[in-house]
Structure 1
Amino acid sequence: MADLDEPIHVVAPDQAWGDQGRTLVHDISAALRGLPVDVAHIGSTAVPGLEAKPVIDVQVGCPAGRIEVAVARIERLGFEWLGRPGVPGRQYLRRRSGLPANVHMVGRRGDCGPTTSSSGTI
């Protein structure tokens, strides 16, 4: 598993972030087709005109019983599963190749129970 700590650099607003967020939401939604999920572009890159780290954040709301399947599908998009670090009730995935992005997987009603990834079980 990769180290979670990485440098954060805040940059001037980029008008492309909105389109990049919409594209990523579309791609993740397509990968999760058939699952009862909600996918949204979140964080500072989702706010036009706001300085931000140049990493698109997406949140996925998913019933706890379907999280394992959802994580595996998101991994196929080039995301690395980093488990449940730091924030109770959240699974975290990130991608740093291509368009850098984070996926915050949360269970509906705050339940984001244990899961496995393609690389192992937590």
Structure 2
Amino acid sequence: MIGYWGMGTLALLAAVFALAFARPWGLRLPKWLLIIPAAIGSVLLSLWGFTYFVMQYLLAVGRVQSAPMYATQDASPMAVWGYFWYALFLIWGISLGAAAYYAEKVRKQNKANHFTK
């Protein structure tokens, strides 16, 4: 339960944090304060989303079994919503990583252009 709340909170913070890459106030932040947390958040969010699909695959091929207390929940038709939510975590992670990569690339390009003028 702590993991769900923790990753949900991290996802919301990452969404707000991602605005720093698109808003002018983000340029005032030091480079390391943008890039390092974004890279860490990207890895964590992507892994959280990806591991759900790995778990579903392992359940489908019979390599693992649901714990008895979760077997009914995993067999419920509502379990399909997991694909939506965990795909969202995966997309958030990948997009945050892309934003961090692009921001670093733009900052390097701006720095190089500044020195050549």
Give the TM-score band, short-chain normalised.
under 0.3
Higher relative contact order (CA 8 A, sep 6+): 2
Over alpha carbons, which structure has the higher Rg?
2
Higher strand share: 1
Higher helix share: 2
